[in-house]
Amino acid sequence: MKIGRTSENDLVLHDHGVSRRHARILERAGLYFAADVGSSNGTALNGTLLPGEQQLRDGDRITVGPVEFTFVWVPPDGDEDATRPIRRHPPLGAPIDGVAENVPTGRLPAVSPVRPADSPSPAPAALAPVASLPVPARAAPAPAPVPAGADGLSAADRARRRRELAGSSGGQLALWWGALSLGARIAVGVPVLLVLLGGLGAVGWVFLPHGGVLGSSGPEPMELGLELVPDSFGLGEGVQWERPDQKAFDFQFVTPTRAVALIHYQASGISKEEVALVLNGVNLGWVPPDTTSTAERELESILPVITLKRGEQNSLVFDNVRNPPGNETWRVWNLRLEIIPVPELSRDDVLSKARQYAQTGARFYETKAVGAENLFKAWQQYRFAWITLEALDEKPDLYQDVRFQLGQVTTELDHKCSQLMLDFQRSVQYRNARKARAALQEVSRRFPTAEHRCHNRALELAYEHEL
């Protein structure tokens, strides 16, 4: 779309302040840009003259001569509640209005004209056939400016404001501060700022736990239990408790019957054979390296019965074998312990039960494309088979087959969770509440119980965004 005074198929503004070819708005790859095309008076975006082509965002003000337009993003067709704000908490420095950087293609944005204050109503608009833009055909000249001070207020307004401020202690302080010169403000403000910073530092020293970092709450967790430990440990960005070399936990293993202990956790920034899991001095293996689903996956490791000390204190260590002397970044968080009773059966009965679980899991896996929850049920059955076989001190060949199938299904399930979470985040970015709810509903269908982390993650997001 071009804006000028005489060009055919352009938006025409009959005003001497508008050049014959003044400005244009163009679309490229789903984004919209404004540019001045050599006008005499220039084109302003949000009060600043355009130095060249610049991308438009929802709410931007485009000034052409005496006429001002507002660029408005129009939601996609068929989404009746897409304009409903989706509450979110953007990272530091991100735009807080929730407007996406990329405007969805398929529908042209609207540009709404805004007349200068107190100007008469414009005549009917002459519209270009390439865009449905309600704009005035002729804008009246801007009214003569009202004499005002440097703050934009008239003398009467400033006098009224002083009377209002003088009625309170805070207002009197504001008037006193406003009467000071720049040098006096610096002389007074710097000591006050130093006193405030000193007070905040003293409060932090008293109440923040020593040895931790800002954002950690309470003392560093040293024991594991059935409750989730959300704190993070390791080295690098986002770590609450720096432990470059290793992090150790103690826990009690108390159970009246034969049971299997599982450690659940999340990990990131870890490469192959970097962080070892050690129970009571016995190496249990390596923490799995990062994958594309690291952000959503939950890891779990069996703590062997023969290595556990029943009724005594046990020690679990995450040991980064590359630190020292290296400085490799790594992080573990969301740790919890799970105790699962295993059946007191004969070896043959245990094998029979495990085979039934494995066969059921295979049937669900073969029909994973038929039902949304079948992949989850396959993972569930293979997991039952794995835990059942853990009751045996000597593992049969079936044990390795079950672990292999469980690993394959777990990878696919974590990948599906990541896809759904990406769909949800994209819907939030474009403020599409209907599609955001649909993504969370799909999570509930594919992850029907809280055995997999994706189920609880969907509930958390639904509550956070009020969906």
Tokens of 32: 């919209």
High-pLDDT (> 70) share of the chain, %: 72
The residues near 41 (Cβ < 8 Å, ≥ 6 apart) are: 17, 18, 19, 65
C-alpha to C-alpha distance for 461 and 223, rounded to whole angstroms: 29
Over residues 85-117, the pLDDT tens digits come to: 444 444 434 443 433 334 344 344 444 444 444
* Least confident span in 29-33, 277-281, 404-408: 29-33
> Measured between alpha carbons, how far is 268 from 291 in angstroms, rounded to an integer?
9
Which of 109-118, 346-355, 400-409 is the least confident region? 109-118
For the segment 308-328, what is each residue's pLDDT rounded down to a tens digit? 888 889 999 999 998 877 788
Mean pLDDT is lowest, of 95-109, 207-221, 338-352, for 95-109
3-state secondary structure string across 452-466: CHHHHHHHHHHHHCC
Q: Which residue has the higher pLDDT, 459 or 191?
A: 459
Supply the mean pLDDT for the chain. 76
Residue written as tokens 């202690």? 169
Q: For residues 399 and 365, is the Cβ–Cβ distance under 8 A?
A: no
pLDDT attached to residue 4: 53
- Residues 66-93: b if buried by 16+ CB within 10 A, e if exposed: bbbbebebebeeebeebeeebeeeeeee
| Token couple for 414 | 């974590």
Cα(144)–Cα(152) distance, integer angstroms: 14
Roughly what angle, to the nearest 10 degrees, separates helices 433-446 and 397-429?
170
More confidently predicted of 386 and 111: 386
The lowest-confidence range among 14-28, 372-386, 432-446 is 14-28
Interatomic CA distance for residues 467 and 465, integer angstroms? 6
Does the pLDDT of residue 162 top 80, yes or no? no
Please report the pLDDT score of residue 408 as a whole number: 92
Across the strands, what pairs with 35? 24
Q: Is the pLDDT of residue 125 over 60?
A: no
pLDDT of residue 360 exceeding 90: yes
Q: In the beta sheet, which residues pair with residue 114?
A: 68
- As given in the structure block, the two tokens for residue 288 are 């799995």
Q: Who wins on pLDDT, 91 or 217?
A: 217
Of 102-111, 157-166, 329-338, 450-459, least confident by mean pLDDT is 102-111
Q: Is the pLDDT of residue 373 over 60?
A: yes
pLDDT of residue 173: 73
Q: Is the dihedral of CA 204, 235, 220, 93 positive or negative?
A: positive
Q: Return the DSSP state at 60.
A: -
pLDDT in tens, 282-299: 999 999 998 876 777 888
Helical residues (DSSP H) of 268-334, grouped into ranges: none
- The pair of structure tokens assigned to 134 is 């309600």
Q: Is the pLDDT of residue 228 over 80?
A: yes
For residue 81, pLDDT beyond 60? no
Q: How many CA atoms are closer than 13 Å to the CA of 177, on its beta-carbon side?
A: 10
Query: Cα-flanking dihedrals φ and ψ of residue 197, to 5°?
Result: -65, -40
Q: Give the burial class of 23: count Cβ atoms within 10 A of its Cβ; 0-12 exposed, 13-18 middle, 19 or more buried.
A: buried
Quote the CA–CA distance of 21 and 11 in Å, as a whole number: 10
- Rank 47-56, 160-169, 252-261 by mean pLDDT and report only the highest: 47-56
d(C-alpha 231, C-alpha 212), whole Å: 11
At 127, is the pLDDT very low, low, confident or very high (cuts 50, 70, 90)? very low
pLDDT at 163: 65
Is 281 or 133 the better-scoring residue by pLDDT?
Answer: 281
d(CA 110, CA 83): 14
Task: Tell whether the model's pLDDT for residue 461 goes beyond 60.
Answer: yes
Nearest CA to 128 out of 8, 37, 6, 5 is that of: 8
pTM score > 0.75 for this model?
A: no
Check residues 11 and 280 and name the one with the higher pLDDT. 280
Q: 28 pLDDT band (50/70/90 cuts)?
A: confident
Dist CA 68 CA 112 (whole Å): 9
Read off the pLDDT of residues 243-282 as tens digits, 9 standing for 90 and up: 999 999 999 888 777 778 889 999 999 999 999 999 999 9
Length of the chain measured in residues = 467
State the pLDDT confidence band at 330, using cuts at 50, 70 and 90.
very high
More confident residue, 11 or 157: 11
Q: pLDDT band at 202, cuts 50/70/90?
A: low
CA-CA distance, 467 to 464, in Å (whole number)? 8
CA-nearest of 138, 135, 136, 131 to 25 is: 131
Predicted pLDDT at 248 = 94
Residue bearing the bigger pLDDT, 151 or 404: 404
* Residue 216, helix vs strand vs coil: coil
pLDDT of residue 165: 67
